[in-house]
Amino acid sequence: MSVELPPAGTYTVDPERSSISFTTRHMFGLGKVNGTFRVESASITVAEPVTRSTAHAVIGAGSFHTGTPRRDEHVRSAAFLHAERHPEIRFESTGVSRGAGGVWVVEGHLTIRGHRAPVELTVDSLSVENGSLKISASATVDRYRHGLTAAKGLAARLLRLTLSATADPAASSVQKTEAASAAESAEQREELPMSPKIAVIYYSSTGTVHELAEAVADGARKEGAEVRLLRVSELAPEEAIASNDAWSAHAAATKDIPIATPADIEWADAVVFGTPTRFGNIASQLKQFIDTLGGLWAQGKLADKVYSGFTATATAHGGQESTLLALYNSVHHFGGILVTPGYTDPVKFVDGNPYGTSHVNGQGAIPVDDTARAAAVYQGKRVAAIAARFNAA
């Protein structure tokens, strides 16, 4: 992999010198299908720092092509892409990051047939030739997350996409002098709204809610938020903790995570609370922390912040909804702005809880799965995005 960071500026992708190819499977995984999509339009804005760069693209849904007319017509039909009603597939970036091994990743959302879901685009190579960008990138798309669930089993769930593109400097960028470009970049940075500050505050005895808290925090960070991951104080006696191996191990593993204080609530633009259920209500450890917020409440400092919540139970229907509703009673007293995930993303139709992320852990026998983790990441992103809107208002 070779990545050469290009000069700051806006670049327009040339559709005639760009393509999107894909590979998937059919016939219960026995057959391999290759095909292409056409890039209708796309642009890339390289910023300083590069992590603030943005990209967007429009892909023609009707351009789906595998060389087999009958298959292509079927995929373009209402059974799959419904290209007549939804002619455009859209990508909008939400962030750029550098991961393990120096790999650059463009995070964003892909909208197919009106269903919006997160996707990560790995930059495989990037170079600058005569002022133009040469880009190769790849991603894996889960069609189920976009509501494309026809022919389960017969047609594969995942598509491997490869983008090859050439992007030329936009005319306006070419005409700018270096001084004017630098001045404009500084002005744009000044106009950017401040990143929202998110406090993810949780109680977890054996680790399930902790894992969900990490996923919520990860989602908020991906949306550009500044995040504090915090736990509340343990109230149980040491002998009770020591008598349970899982509880004792988790307490030791998370001892370095900071303890939440009222000052963290005052700092935050948004607060996401996490708790296991206790007889359909929140855990006493989290309740005790909330009870310490009376001083901030009296000063009106809990009002006008965004709040959300997530939970876990030992059994199905063991209080997931009631626990979150009980938590949200406090938010109403705060004068807070309640932001739940609702059914605003395909992952919520899989997760099934519009009140907040939840997971059934079967008394510790069922680990946090990909569905719960994806729902938690989405909830973190949604809270951060809504908080950012309020900051910008």
User: Where in the chain are the domains?
Assistant: 2-185, 197-392
Residues with Cβ within 8 Å of 237's Cβ and at least 6 positions away in sequence, in order, are: none
Q: CA-CA distance, 290 to 164, in Å (whole number)?
A: 52
Q: CA-CA distance, 322 to 334, in Å (whole number)?
A: 19
Q: What is the predicted pLDDT for the residue at 187? A: 47
CATH domain 2-185 topology: Lipocalin (2.40.128)
Q: Judging by DSSP bridges, how do beta strands 158-169 and 115-129 pair with one another?
A: unpaired
Q: What is the predicted pLDDT for the residue at 171? A: 64
Q: What is the predicted pLDDT for the residue at 137? A: 93
Q: CA-CA distance, 137 to 125, in Å (whole number)?
A: 7
Per-residue pLDDT of the chain (393 residues; tens, 9 = 90+): 578 888 889 999 999 999 999 998 775 546 788 999 999 999 999 998 888 899 999 999 999 999 999 989 989 998 889 899 889 999 999 889 987 677 899 999 998 987 788 899 999 999 999 889 999 999 999 888 777 777 766 778 888 999 999 999 986 444 443 444 444 444 444 444 468 999 999 999 999 999 999 999 999 998 889 899 999 999 988 899 999 888 988 888 888 889 999 999 999 999 999 999 999 999 999 999 999 999 999 999 999 999 999 999 999 989 999 999 999 999 999 999 999 999 999 999 998 999 999 999 888 789 899 999 999 999 999 999 999 988 876
Q: CA-CA distance, 39 to 100, in Å (whole number)?
A: 29
- Give 360-364's long-range contacts (Cβ < 8 A, gap of 24+): 360/312, 360/313, 360/314, 360/315, 360/316, 360/318, 360/320, 361/208, 361/312, 361/313, 361/314, 362/314, 362/315, 363/314, 364/206, 364/208, 364/246
Q: What is the predicted pLDDT for the residue at 189? A: 42
Residue 37's beta-bridge partner residues?
A: 20
Assign 227 to helix, strand or coil.
strand
225: which DSSP letter? Answer: -
Sign of torsion, CA 170 175 177 182? Answer: negative
CATH domain 197-392 topology: Rossmann fold (3.40.50)
